[in-house]
Structure 1
Amino acid sequence: MEGEAGSSLRFPDVPKLELDDLIDQLVDRARGVQRAQGRLRALLRAIETVTGDLSLEVVLRNVVESACELSGARYGALGVIAHDGGLDQFIHVGMDDGAVAEIGGLPQGKGLLGALISDPRPIRLKHMVDDERSTGFPPHHPPMDSFLGVPIHVRDEVFGNLYLTDSEKGEFTAEDEELVIALALAAGTAISNARLYQESRLQQRWLTASVEIGSQLLAAAGEDPLRMIARRAIDIADADVVSVGLLTPDGESLLIEVAYGVNAQDLVGQRFRLTETLAGRAVEERRGLVLRAGDDVDRHSHASSVLDAGPLMVLPLQSEDTVRGVLSLVRERGRPPFSASDLAMAAGFASHASVALELADSRAAEQKVVLLEDRERIARDLHDHVIQELFAIGLSLESAAALLGSDAAAAAQRIQQRVEDIDRTIRRIRTSIFALRGPLDLVAGGLRQRILEVATDLTPALGYPPHVSFSGLLDIGVSADLVDDVVATVREAVTNIAKHAHASSATIDVSATATQLTVTVTDDGVGLGDVTRCSGTGNLRARAEQRQGSFEIGPGATRGTIVKWKVPISHD
């Protein structure tokens, strides 16, 4: 018994080895389960990180960083696929800004990157150089060996691809591939949600801008409506240049009224034929257009005259009956294209802006009617009261001059001169009445209108506006060719004042009787001087003599010069 008590337990060697193997296997499997559990936790953390933000830019970067951490990759990138099959965006991690600057431009989607774009299925390589599709790296690019590429699907489309290189284990495993695929599925959902959130915020900004424009257009004062439309559009649409053009009265051309952005100052005021531009196509089809760089179109964008135009949107500003203008939003070549949702939102904005402009036009027309009615009342009061009183005073003065007789010739002359002054004042008041009544009282292309246009044109040269007065039926009894001669006479006489008289005031008086038309131009300048050197006076004399009229030029009553041009009026 003692011997048995002092002896140690012994197990056969063979059974002991089998048990050790079983225990080792259990430990390995436990470690595998623990490792898998750890990686699943890492996957859950990565998914939580990816789905934890609604900003698309943040989501994309989180996807790349989480994929690198999950797979143990040193470098990672996410390439967003463009409409033309290339890369629209390339978000990368692992390289500092200095290395990126040395490499230069972003990848063009060739080689292995292009292989994933053309065939969106996972690619896992131990050595990239072993794959025939690999095209190497550009200068200054860091060396990379192992590779894992996984596509990211958003709904039914391939949004982009995840590119991971240089595994810390030497190569990416099948388990790495499965985890990254799972992450890519979650990333697709996160990107979709971020897109929807981004679109909803953009839609809200378009609607807010529409409300602001409507409120501003109905206000009594404030920013020009077309300028406000362009300013808000370029801010919201992230465009490089935005322009608002209105159709010309003949409907054949587009005149750019307002522009914002790159070289916008060179675009304002330009006129483009509708048949030659995409704006014309939008007007013809009465719908918005979205074009991407490289699209084959038969017309160019008018913005091409000021920048290298790439993606663009063209939207007609239209009411139910007519198109009044075009809103154009352009990005430079190489920038992301406008999407269908961009077009839908911008079209809604353009529609609201068109309605607001129609309301503003109606309001302006109503205010114009009120203004014209008020001016008509003032003109009527001037005609019915002031002119009649002045006319009565003139008659009284003429009677007083007649009573003085020959013994008071000087006094009679002075009274007669005052009568002429009153007549001149009456003519000026009548001219003011015509101005108050505005274009409703002017015949288009008539003598009154053209004389007023000449006075306006020569105001800068004179340094002050000339006084203009009319008398008689100037817009009815004067032939078209005589109108041209009268306008030329007035222009020549006033131009001479601007060049030679050094006057502080000038007066244009045009009067017509049944048989004669008289133009009188006076100034308070330095006087005649050497009139023989002025070829303009010879032209005035020749025009009068060709019509069997007369031309006189002489000193004023106190100073300055008086020009009288008289011609008979023929009635055919």
Structure 2
Amino acid sequence: MGAQYGALGVIAPSGGLDQFIHVGMTPDEVNTIGHLPEGKGLLGALIDSPHSIRLVTIGNDPRSSGFPGGHPRMDSFLGVPVRVRDEVYGNLYLSSQAAGQFTDEDEQLVTALAATAGIAIENARLFAETKRRQAWSAASAEITAALLSGERHDSIALIVNRVFGLSGADLVCVLLPTDKPGALVVETALGLSESDVHGARVSTAHSVSGSVLEGKQPRLLDDSNIALPGHVRLGPVMAVPLISAGTAEGVLFLARAQGAQLFTIADLEMAADFAGQASVAMQLGRARGDRQKLALLEDRGRIARDLHDHVIQEIFGTGLELQSIAGRVQNESLSERIGQTVANLDASISQIRTVIFALSAPVEKTRNTIRHSIIDIVNELAPSLTTTPYVSFSGPVDLLVTGDLAGDVTAVVRESLTNTAKHASAEHSSVALTAAEGHITLEITDDGHGSPATTRRSGLANIEKRATIRGGTSEFHSSSTGTVVRWRVPYFLTPSTRTENGLNL
């Protein structure tokens, strides 16, 4: 064609230029210009109206928006759309023809070349979309196999991790309904500001996730303009309902940073299909787990009854007999030793009662107590620890630690024990929850080698924030002999006094 400069602009599915491949300019000229064209001026005119444009001088056309500083001089111009049938995939541009201007013959030849380029672009996009669909399908099969394998899995974390790797999103999270009407909680988050987003409360009113949960239909936004902590703003968003047995049980939320590439309809379809299959797998996994749990609970109930009806009664009777003997012993030292033995038996009875409580399931899922919640967390994390942590309770914790306060307590227990598993190399650990003197006190200890608070900063910040919101305190002490986390809040504060963090996912 005798053109000095040429370029191929590929139009993004959402509009504008997705790629701009150019020839003719030197690397120094490219660096001087800076960013590539965004599809404005003459290039934008060709995108908005996909018909050939042939000019003798670019600058004389009113649609021209000029050139940025450092851009080489360009005179004549020929632009033709790259199309297959009725769909336009991009545009082919030529400039500065050696003879001064492009001819009709040049335009016809470039139009034929553009048609060939269109077929190549269409095939490339179809191939890329097929590969993405295969990846989503394989991930769905992997999730289903994992949830039905019989092994313990955090189904929500599995889904979030796989979606994060597949979608190209900067933030993926799952939001679930709370006990409070009109509110959702971010159960799991991965990506941008994940430590601040995790555990956040989101109102269903005027939020993307709320509308998806209520309407049971996915949503796609080009620019959500949602603000996150740390001066981060979200742009493109996909939100998909997690539906089980016709009920929306949560929302899968995917977002990219503001200014990033938009999600497409195909992306939304693949995410929705994945979420639907994952929801079914979660439901089947829960049903299988419930059957296994029922058989286990029946056996545990028998053991708990035996401990209560026989073991505790025998230990209690032995303690009473020793107390009677201590009252008749003249030797003061021996009497003290017998008294200490009685105290040890009393402590053993308390430990056995904790075991009995752990073996006994709540009558209804909706009446789960903080004791059961903590014991469940300890059992879940026990495989990651050298030994199962010792658990103790004191005071009416089941009556006082409920609702959002229970959620904070279990979150602190999980974070602290996870840190112990990851950093402490501890032989022994313990969890103690006490309700006394107007306060709920949670203390988690281990005998590991300790670690600086900086290695756990994100988790500790969340623990401290939960205490501060409730008007309490959080202490972290770590040394070469072990670590102590002490979390203390007043229990007269009600959940309604909590300050929401204002996220509107």
Q: Is the structural similarity TM-score above 0.5? A: yes
Paired with 2:145 and 2:344, the residues of 1 have a C-alpha distance of: 51
Matched AA of 1:435: F
1:180 aligns with 2:125: no
1:328 aligns with 2:253: yes
| 2:354 is the alignment partner of 1:432 | yes
How many angstroms apart in 2 are the aligned matches of 1:72 and 1:223? 64
- Taking the aligned partners of 1:445 and 1:233, their CA distance within structure 2 comes to 33
- What SS does the corresponding residue of 2:184 show, helix, strand or coil? strand
Matched ranges for 1:395-410 at <5 A: none
Q: In 2, are the aligned partners of 1:316 and 1:325 still within 8 Å (CA)?
A: yes
Alignment pair present for 1:308 and 2:233: yes
**What is the letter of the counterpart of residue 75 of structure 1?**
Y
Of 267, 272, 279, the residue aligned with 1:342 is: 267
The verdict on how the C-alpha distance between 1:398 and 1:76 changes in structure 2, with shifts beyond 3 A counting, is: closer
Which structure shows the bigger proportion of residues in helix conformation? Answer: 1
Q: Which one has a bigger Cα radius of gyration? A: 1
Could you report, residue by residue, the CA deviation over 1:443-487 in whole angstroms, capped at 9, with x for unpaired residues?
Answer: 99999979x99xx9xxxxxxx9796689xxx99xxxxxxxxxx95
Contact 2:9 2:21 (C-alpha < 8 Å) held by counterparts: yes
Give the drift of 1:170: 3.3
Runs of 4+ in 1 over 4 A off after TM superposition: 82-85, 220-223, 300-306, 391-402, 408-423, 441-450, 464-470, 489-492
Counterpart among 138, 163, 166 of residue 208 in structure 1? 138
Among 28, 51, 70, the alignment partner of 1:140 is 70
Match of residue 358, structure 1, among 283, 295, 302: 283
Listed as ranges, the matches of 1:159-170 within 5 Å are 159-170=89-100
Asked if 1 retains the 8 angstrom alpha-carbon contact of 2:304 and 2:360, the reply is: no
Alpha-carbon displacement from aligned partner over 1:107-154 (angstroms, at most 9, x marks no partner)? 243332233223321112233234333333111001112211101223
Q: Report if aligned partners of 2:170, 2:191 keep a CA contact under 8 Å in 1.
A: yes
Query: 1-side partners of 2:40 and 2:210: how far apart?
Result: 38
Superposed, 1:41-440 pairs within 5 Å as 71-82=1-12, 86-221=16-151, 224-293=154-223, 301=226, 307-391=232-316, 393=318, 417=339, 421=343, 424=346, 427-428=349-350, 431-438=353-360, 440=362
Higher relative contact order (CA 8 A, sep 6+): 2
Deviation at residue 214 of structure 1 after TM alignment:
1.5
Query: Can you list the C-alpha shifts for 1:263-282, whole angstroms capped at 9, x where unaligned?
Result: 32322121111113101111
Query: Deviation digits for residues 153-190 of structure 1, max 9, x if unmatched?
Result: 23423222211112234322221111111112222222
Question: Structure 1 residues 283 and 97, CA, compared in 2 at 3 Å: closer, same or farther?
Answer: farther
Moved more, 303-312 or 254-263: 303-312
Q: Per the alignment, do residues 369 and 250 of structure 1 end up closer, same or farther by CA in structure 2, a change over 3 Å counting?
A: farther
Q: Do 1:149 and 1:163's aligned partners in 2 also have CA atoms closer than 8 Å?
A: yes
Q: Provide the TM-score with structure 1 as the length reference.
A: 0.59
Q: What is the identity, as a one-letter code, of the residue corresponding to 1:292?
A: D
Contact 2:322 2:342 in 1 (8 A): no
Residues 473-521 of structure 1 deviation map (CA, whole Å, 9 limit, x = unaligned): x99xxxxxxxxxx9545969x99xxxxxxxxxxxxxxxxxxxxxxxxxx
Structure-2 separation of matches of 1:147 and 1:191:
23
Question: Percentage identity across aligned positions?
Answer: 43
Give the gaps of 5 or more residues in structure 1. 1-70, 295-299, 457-463, 476-485, 496-572
Instruction: Label 1:103 to 1:386 Cα distance change in 2 as closer, same or farther (>3 A).
Output: same
Please give the residue correspondences for 1:436-515 in structure 2 after superposition, counting only pairs within 5 Å.
Answer: 436-438=358-360, 440=362, 488-489=436-437
Preserved CA contact (<8 Å) 2:301 2:360: no
The count of aligned residue pairs is 393
Shift of 1:76: 1.4
Q: Is the 8 A contact 2:326 2:339 kept in 1?
A: no
Q: CA deviation at 1:394?
A: 5.6
Kindly tell me: are residues 435 and 110 of structure 1, through their superposed partners in 2, closer, same or farther at Cα, counting changes over 3 Å?
A: same
Paired residues of 1:234 and 1:242 also in contact (CA < 8 A): yes
The alpha carbon displacement at 1:382 in A equals 1.6
Partner of 2:425: none
Instruction: Check the 8 A contact 1:75/1:95 in 2, yes or no.
Output: yes
* Cα distance in 2, alignment partners of residues 328 and 133 from structure 1: 41
- Structure 2 unaligned blocks of 5 or more: 379-388, 400-433, 443-505
